[in-house]
Structure 1
Amino acid sequence: MTQLPLRAQLASALGRTAATLSRATGRGDGSVIGGRVGLVLEPDLLRKLARDRRLALVSATNGKTTTTRLITSALQELGDVATNAFGANMPAGHVSALSSAKDAPYGVLEVDEKYLPEVIETTGAGVVVLMNLSRDQMDRAAEIWLLAQKWRRALVARNTHVIANADDPLVAWGASTAARVTWVSVGQPWKEDSWCCPECGGPLDRGGMDYVPPGGHAPGVAVRQADGGVPAAPGSPAGPGGPGGGLAENDWACRECSFRRPAPSWFLDGDTVVDPRGQRWPLDIRLPGRANRANAVVALATAEAFGLPVQRALPRLAEVTSVAGRYTTVEREGRQARLLLAKNPAGWLEAFDVLDPALPVILSVNAQGPDGRDTSWLWDVDYRVLRGRPVYVTGERRLDLALRLDVAEVPFQLTESFGHALAVQPPGKVDVIANYTAFQQIRSEFGRAV
């Protein structure tokens, strides 16, 4: 790699020192402070550190930390990889990650959705991974349609290879201006933020619907009889003979313009990934749930963009068992607690997918700055899946969550702290779902297990 200018070398070295001191004094993992120090001394440090590396930027509302970890694991087959493993996904975190592995020829950086255009411009990354967009931190995050629009503008006239989820209409729209796109079909279980066409504003017809949107029927969408609804009548938009009747699972199309789902070349099919040549590969990974199988498909498509074939990348994915504490099982006095992170409605849907229905569950919700102060999103989550199991509620905003559960007719026990909630469990296993700062507090109690 090209030698850094002297000023950049000094800024990088002092940033690493600050990060080391932060870890040594127990103030944090150093993944932010080191970058901040470096950027104060050399504002263009990120551009200089990114030069001559093959970089992938990973952005999404949910799953970007896990997917970043999976891609990193795969690319280690090719050589050293710089990455922001603990999720510091703004420029200071990127500087710290690249500085701490200054000789690594590859880099995989998780990027906050709002910062993606800036980071693309600064780093000139050759690969950009776009997975999903949904509501998050409602009091301070931009409207997600505006985020997709910013992605579109950032990718115009760039020699960038985009790996994008074709099943998410907002992602497809945001990626459609890129010069080269590899479309991946991994599903979109949370559809409540994409009923309207981002191109013209018209209604989208969706294939493979398997649940009713909160509050009733989505326009033109059939309702499952198992959910108490009735199937769409023949000739209706979602029934046989209507505009939506020919849509396969995960497919979507606008009724009023030509915008529709692009043809994917990678597919998630149950526990199998289908590559662009039609070959099927069993997804033998150790991270649980459908969402992580989807993340693995995206990781394999990204690895191939770097020239790494599936047969070499797939074994590397199986080595990942935990990601920054997610899915880790911690133990205290005979109680084994599995930690799950859920920051927004889409994330709760994914967490519910991996719950063990035979186990009690502890729910913890805060509303600090990194979480977003507005907890109204709790009303967008369907908590009825928790009926029939012991539920314990804690966290700084436990009363908000308690009211939501009461309305959903989910019995629960209110507890003062996570420690108390865990202490009242019988010896054995328990699942824990927490939002961001609540999750980090729990991790800290157990030494920030990774």
Structure 2
Amino acid sequence: MAGNSDALTPRAKLAVTAGKAVAAASRAAGRGSGSVIGGRVALKLDPDLLARLAQNLDVTLVSATNGKTTTTRLIAEALRAAGPVVSNALGANMPAGITSALAGGSDAKFGVIEVDEKYLAGVARDTSPKCIALLNLSRDQLDRAAETRMLAENWREGLAGSKAVVVANCDDPLVVWAASSSPNVIWVAAGQMWKDDAWSCPSCGGVMQRPGDDWFCGECGFRRPTPSWALSGDHVLDPHGSAWPIHLQLPGRANKANAASSAAVAAVFGVPPQVALERMYQVQAVAGRYDVVQFQGRDLRLLLAKNPAGWLETFSLIDPPPAPVILSVNARGADGTDTSWLWDVDYTRLTGHPIFVVGDRKLDLAVRLEVANQQFQVCENLDQAVQQAPAGRIEVIANYTAFQDLRRRVGN
């Protein structure tokens, strides 16, 4: 693909240059990657810049409450088999961060873009994607996000009549309802551990029936569609019924599900499952998640969990008892300031683990663990928690800004 910058207007080129300069200044001042502020400046100078940058790319958008950063990485890795890829790999997933990422990919053929759930419809309008991957919708940041049914409605209206191929998880009723307005949907049976946001029918409000892995509404007949791709144990089943082994360095069932969706997306662009899945093995960690680091002479595995669905999946990854566990929860702007979601997490799954609690909202978490009858200690900081933890690899589970704090402390 000839460089995208060749097709840009003088105004757009100026906007890209200014955005990069501001981002570089922000990095030099130690204020993070600079991608968001750079993108904001660029969009101020040319409000149509995102559409201009996307016009020569085959774009895939990835949206969900959980798993979008990892799935974006897996899809990007798979599509590199077919050409150069530009992606917002660090997870800046609102229009400014997306614009900034695309501005850096002048020779790319594919754009693989993670999009915050609330911005999906608008970014889809601007980027005319070839493919949109929808993984799940669950409760998250209750103080500022719309409840899940409203987000699903936003997706449903925004995707109605879209020319994109929508790759959607048929095991999440909210995703199915949202995707059903699209004329071209590929259904993937990727599973759903967290079901507490999908007990009422998104279509009519009736009670969902859930026999086995199936689901349907007894009132209006809305039901699980038949998948053409499926996660089956350690394999992905393709539409021809062939089973392809999943070999990942990333742990857990959730990442196998992400790989299944990613293989379905790669196939839309002509990359066969075997090639796509082999390439996904390259991904070792995603923005520090799953990294094992040495700190104070101990091995710590860093795990990110931002909402009840994410905590549930993360509990299934950790080493068995008596592996020590450090939990860290903040409630800053990027996390959402409401910690009531802690009461939706089943902390009894940690029974038998020595638990150490840190973070801005450690006392909120301590009350929750007390009610769940868990043995825990509240610590001042990570250093103290690590010193008090008994032998064994320490599993460290943190929400968004707490995770960033931990990475800085361990020098990751």
Mark yes or no: TM-score above 0.5: yes
Matching of residue 309 in structure 1 with residue 313 in structure 2: no
Answer whether contact 2:87 2:111 (CA < 8 A) is retained: yes
- Which of 216, 219, 222 is equivalent to 1:259? 222
Matched with 1:68 is 72
- Which of 77, 80, 97 is equivalent to 2:81? 77
Matches within 5 A, 1:286-435: 286-358=249-321, 359-426=323-390, 428-435=392-399
Matches within 5 A, 1:157-306: 157-208=161-212, 249=213, 251-306=214-269
In the TM superposition, what whole-angstrom CA distance separates every residue of 1:172-216 from its partner, at most 9, and x where no partner exists? 0000011100000011100000001111111111132xxxxxxxx
CA distance in 2 between counterparts of 1:336 and 1:29 reads: 27
Matching of residue 113 in structure 1 with residue 117 in structure 2: yes
CA distance in 1 between counterparts of 2:387 and 2:117 reads: 38
The TM-score with structure 2 as length reference comes to: 0.97
CA distance in 1 between counterparts of 2:62 and 2:266 reads: 13
| Structure 1 residue 349, shift from structure 2 partner | 0.2
Answer whether contact 1:268 1:293 (CA < 8 A) is retained: yes
CA distance in 1 between counterparts of 2:348 and 2:77 reads: 37
Cα RMSD, aligned residues only = 1.1
Query: Secondary structure, in 3 states, of the residue corresponding to 1:354?
Result: coil
| Structure 1 residue 116, shift from structure 2 partner | 0.4
Contiguous gaps of at least 5 residues in structure 1: 209-248
Query: Secondary structure, in 3 states, of the residue corresponding to 1:55?
Result: strand
Query: Secondary structure, in 3 states, of the residue corresponding to 1:32?
Result: helix
Matched with 1:437 is 401
Answer whether contact 1:333 1:427 (CA < 8 A) is retained: no
- Answer with 172-181 or 26-35: which moved more: 26-35
Answer whether contact 1:65 1:87 (CA < 8 A) is retained: yes
CA distance in 1 between counterparts of 2:109 and 2:272 reads: 19
CA distance in 2 between counterparts of 1:261 and 1:77 reads: 33
| Structure 1 residue 445, shift from structure 2 partner | 1.9
CA distance in 1 between counterparts of 2:393 and 2:342 reads: 26
Matched with 1:233 is none
Query: Secondary structure, in 3 states, of the residue corresponding to 2:393?
Result: strand
Matching of residue 147 in structure 1 with residue 151 in structure 2: yes
Query: Secondary structure, in 3 states, of the residue corresponding to 1:66?
Result: helix
Query: Secondary structure, in 3 states, of the residue corresponding to 2:69?
Result: helix
- Which of 130, 137, 141 is equivalent to 1:133? 137
| Structure 1 residue 336, shift from structure 2 partner | 1.1
Matches within 5 A, 1:31-70: 31-70=35-74
Answer whether contact 2:358 2:381 (CA < 8 A) is retained: yes
| Residue identity in the other structure for 1:338 | R
Matched with 1:17 is 21
Query: Secondary structure, in 3 states, of the residue corresponding to 2:353?
Result: coil
| Residue identity in the other structure for 1:102 | S
| Residue identity in the other structure for 2:310 | G
CA distance in 1 between counterparts of 2:342 and 2:109 reads: 43
Matching of residue 5 in structure 1 with residue 25 in structure 2: no
- Cα gap change, 1:408 to 1:426, in 2 (>3 Å): closer
CA distance in 1 between counterparts of 2:383 and 2:18 reads: 38
Answer whether contact 1:12 1:99 (CA < 8 A) is retained: yes
| Structure 1 residue 426, shift from structure 2 partner | 4.9
CA distance in 2 between counterparts of 1:92 and 1:382 reads: 36
In the TM superposition, what whole-angstrom CA distance separates every residue of 1:379-418 from its partner, at most 9, and x where no partner exists? 1111011111110001000000000000100000100112
Answer whether contact 1:335 1:426 (CA < 8 A) is retained: no
The TM-score with structure 1 as length reference comes to: 0.89
Query: How many aligned positions are there?
Result: 407
Matched with 2:92 is 88
CA distance in 2 between counterparts of 1:293 and 1:207 reads: 23
- Which of 28, 31, 49 is equivalent to 2:32? 28
| Residue identity in the other structure for 1:78 | A
CA distance in 2 between counterparts of 1:137 and 1:178 reads: 27
Answer whether contact 2:354 2:389 (CA < 8 A) is retained: no
Answer whether contact 2:64 2:135 (CA < 8 A) is retained: yes
CA distance in 1 between counterparts of 2:208 and 2:31 reads: 48
Q: List 4+ stretches of structure 1 deviating above 4 A.
A: none
CA distance in 2 between counterparts of 1:317 and 1:399 reads: 40
Answer whether contact 2:324 2:390 (CA < 8 A) is retained: no
CA distance in 2 between counterparts of 1:207 and 1:287 reads: 31
Answer whether contact 1:384 1:408 (CA < 8 A) is retained: yes
Answer whether contact 1:334 1:428 (CA < 8 A) is retained: no
